[in-house]
Structure 1
Amino acid sequence: MSGPLEGIRVIEIGTLIAAPFAARMLAEFGAEVIKIEAPVDGDPIRKWRKLHEGTSLWWYLQSRNKKSISINLKSPQGIAIIKRLASKADVLIENLKPGALEKLGLGWDVLHALNPKLTMVRISGYGQTGPYKDRPGFGAIGEAMGGIRYTTGEPDGAPARVGVSLGDSLASLHAVMGALMSVLRVKTGQGLGQVVDVSLVESVFNLMESLVPEYDLLGHVRERSGGALPGIAPSNTYPTRDGAYVVIAGNSNPIFKRLMLAIGRADLAEDPNFAHNDGRVRQVALLDAAIAGWTSAQPIESVLATLEQAGVPAGRIYSVADIVADPHYQARDMILSAELPGGVKVKMPGIVPKLSETPGQVNWQGPALGAHTSEVLAELGLGDSEIQRLRDEGVIQ
């Protein structure tokens, strides 16, 4: 492994989305990530969504660059192995229910005593404290209680969800930030390891902009607005003649003028009532109707070409087919070619962000269950006979 996180060892005790996605990002930039999986079935994501020859394609992506070791955490010997791993690790990431690791004898007090420099990243529905901490929490619940579901959807419809696991992924991003801040503190000698407490609900809530002060000071409750951006105008989704949709953001003062001139509405461009955002918001329906009237009269490519020439931010709404075929995605190495077991080639997403000197890389796809168990245990100093004994006793797979 190489990259800016080379030399950082991460232990992942997590399943499905939040903790594994966070660990994946660290692995893509050079961290050695050792993923702990239960024997027999492993991480449930191995069977989630679309499968190829019995294994989830999501698994191959979510666990790339990770080492899989299969350990029975119901065994005292298995717990002893986790302690030995944690004693040599920089970060442990988990997304079990609060208190679960403590019941296993792997709580913060225990691990911090073993390794004072260890950072423990704990992802849960509601956080490690508070009256809701023991409630089960999934990303969908985080989206609901974090405020984003209430504001998503058509004004006259039910709250909608985004088509991906947004709450989990937002928690993953916060987990990575917290882990890196804590590791930096340790590596620069400013202090010891600490707990990074990440809540799914709070990770979503952190994105909700001025929602709270608008409510507290003005009594305003932000409602669902379809494809529009409330309080910022014009910014919406508009239909085109060929059945496609285009998102147009003409919401800064100079961009608004350029947009109006591009659609042949010089009268609106020069109207002093629309010189600033607050004036445009007051008559957003008029502006949206003018823009939609223009976009719906021509095909999407013509709309995009005109707006690009005018310097107006605009983009068609992409399906996955559009993404894979797009030359910009390809030029940015955002569509990579991967090889699955048996030599099957498949396209996978590239790595974000792009670092100029130490870019992330993909070294292998999600491994078979327990593929690295012997290797990792041997690095801990266990001999072949001891590893075989643990295997025979069902401690490892």
Structure 2
Amino acid sequence: MTVTDRLDGFGPLAGVTIVELCEWVAAPAAARILAEMGAEVIKVEPPHGDAQRTQGPGFGIDRTATEDPTLDLNNTNKNWVALNLKRPEGMTVMKQLLARADVFMTSLRSQALERLGLDQEALAKEFPRLIWAQNRGYGEWGPNRDAPGFDAVAWAARGGVAASFPEAGREPAIPPQAFGDYNHAVVMAAGILAALFNRTRTGKGEKVVGNLYHTALWGGSIGILATQSGATYPKSRTQVPNPFNNTYQTADGKWLLLCQPQYDKYFGAMMRILGLDEYAGDESVNSLPALKASGKAPHVIGLLEGAFRTRPMEEWTTLLTEQDVPHQALFHYEDVIVDEEAHANDALRTVEYQAYGPRSIATSPIRFGSYGDPPLLLSKPTGYHTVDYLEKLGYTTEQIADLEASGAVLVWHGEAVPDTLFRSRRQVVPDAPPKRIPHRT
């Protein structure tokens, strides 16, 4: 039984088929988003598997032959087929899968796709209704168009993220691995959804392309524009133009982020809340134009630093919440893991591993009122569903054995992996309304 059979028609994309030829994170994560919307995602791996299967230990995460938490982050709700596309028989199976597909999603570079005959021009002639989607590190036309593009280089380094985030004068930041990949995955998923909708009007396929570098620049829009006005990055928190958009340390050594972008409007109120009433009427600092003209932003920041050091975090959180001031204690991931806000809204879902016990993993961030939270099924070993899909394509047992013997396909012969449906907390607690996975109509 395939994963799609287990999902039994869940989601607004039920009935949409995506053939994924992707490795690593960004593109597989985009396909994961669509899988959690109900699409049938057939992940085609080479016989040696997705390179992401090797990465867990580098992040401090273990894996077994049948359980790989790192792989699950990008690959829930998928079906696993292993083909050797360098062999004609393997490519024949690939084309048979594409003939039934709505979307071909790939992260291979253009030269490799052309060698395989899987480039957009070739597939558009053969399958004119197919959505062809390619995830790239850089764009299609610049000097880096053929360069490999991991998020660390294309997004964090070249996109300005690593150099812009730290305190001015400090070493470059190292964002968490794949931080840009997961943000970019939403962009790719959105492009594919738009192409699918447009096909309902035109009846024609489409080419969808996105790249990590562009997504980094989109995310850095304000910084890029501000730099052209002389407000360069990285910044020092002692020199920010708006002291109400800054971080401050409380009496117990914790850090709080204050976000009150309307400085002029709330200056007087903020001074009173912080016990700095004598400055409420100071015309040299009570508006952003005045603050820029007087050059007193560091002075106001110093006043706020002194005020915030007079109380512990808990007291500031209570006071600022009562006054409806946007703020937040700076969380580490240890705080996020136990955050009720994350679990109550199914941003984090608890799954169970036989080898490792319960783990919380992030879910895709879009919900539909008619379907509720998507059920999650974890990833499978390489080639786990190869036989299922070959049988769907009409291959006999003998033909499948011949394909395997020739090296054109890889079939999983290990132990069966449980198809456990992991549901959200509100779907399993006793007082939650029942959530049934709808059947196709």
**TM-score, normalised on structure 1?**
0.91
Aligned identity (percent) is 25
In the TM superposition, residue 280 of structure 1 has moved relative to its aligned partner by 4.2
Residue 278 (structure 2) aligned to one of 255, 267, 292:
267
1:299 equivalent in alignment to 2:312: yes
Distance 1:375 1:270 in 2: 74
**Match of residue 257 from structure 2:** 247
Q: Which residue of 2 aligns with 1:87?
A: 99
Q: Is the 8 A contact 1:340 1:365 kept in 2?
A: no
Displacement of 1:149: 2.8
More displaced stretch, 271-280 vs 372-381: 271-280
Structure 1 pair 171–329 and aligned structure 2 pair: CA distance change class (3 A): closer
Question: Please, which of 303, 307, 325 is the counterpart of residue 290 of structure 1?
Answer: 303
Shift of 1:24: 0.8
Structure 1 residue ranges, 4+ long, deviating more than 6 angstroms after superposition: none
Are the equivalent residues in 2 in contact too, given 1:233–1:280 (CA < 8 A)?
Answer: no
Q: Which residue of 1 aligns with 2:25?
A: 17
Provide the rounded CA distance (Å) in 2 between the counterparts of 1:44 and 1:101: 20
Q: Is the 8 A contact 2:350 2:361 kept in 1?
A: yes
Instruction: Give the direction of change, closer, same or farther, for the CA distance of 1:375–1:291 in structure 2 (3 Å limit).
Output: same
CA contact (8 A) 2:138 2:212 kept: yes
Corresponding position of 2:233: 223
User: Is 2:338 aligned against 1:325?
Assistant: yes
Measured at CA, do residues 120 and 302 of structure 1 come closer, stay the same or move farther in structure 2, by a change above 3 Å?
same
Q: 1:153 aligns with which of 144, 147, 166?
A: 166
Alpha-carbon shift at residue 130 of structure 1 (Å): 2.6
Structure 2 unaligned residues grouped into runs of 5+: 1-6, 411-441
SS in 1 for 2:80: strand
Contact 2:152-2:177 at 8 Å conserved across structures: no
Specify the SS of the correspondent of 1:306.
Answer: helix
The answer to whether the 8 A contact 2:346-2:373 is kept is: no
**Residue 240 of structure 2 contacts residue 246 of structure 2 at CA under 8 Å; is this kept in 1?**
no
Q: Is the 8 A contact 1:42 1:70 kept in 2?
A: no
For 1:243, the aligned partner's letter is G
Cα shift at 1:229: 9.5
Quick check: 29-38 or 341-350, which moved more? 341-350
Q: Distance in 1 between matches of 2:236 and 2:104?
A: 40
Residue 372 (structure 2) aligned to one of 359, 363, 373: 359
TM-aligned CA deviation for residue 191 of structure 1: 5.0
SS in 2 for 1:26: helix
Question: Retained in 1: the 8 A contact 2:113–2:119?
Answer: yes
Change in CA separation of 1:4 and 1:271 when aligned onto 2, cut-off 3 Å: farther
User: Does residue 4 in structure 1 map to residue 15 in structure 2?
Assistant: no
Change (3 A) 1:360 1:393: farther
Map of 1:310 onto structure 2: 323
- Give the alignment's TM-score, normalised by structure 2: 0.83
Aligned to 1:126, the other structure's residue is in SS state coil
Change in Cα spacing, 1:387 to 1:328, as seen in structure 2 (3 Å) is: same
Query: Structure 2 CA distance, aligned partners of 1:97 and 1:362?
Result: 33
Deviates more, 1:247-256 or 1:233-242: 247-256
- Alpha-carbon distance between aligned partners in 2 of 1:68 and 1:91, rounded to the nearest angstrom: 16
Change in Cα spacing, 1:257 to 1:166, as seen in structure 2 (3 Å) is farther
Cα pair 1:5 1:30 within 8 Å, conserved? yes
| Residues in 2 aligned to 1:380 and 1:231: alpha-carbon distance in whole angstroms | 63
Instruction: Quote the Cα distance in structure 1 between the aligned partners of 2:268 and 2:32.
Output: 44
Amino acid at match of 1:248: L
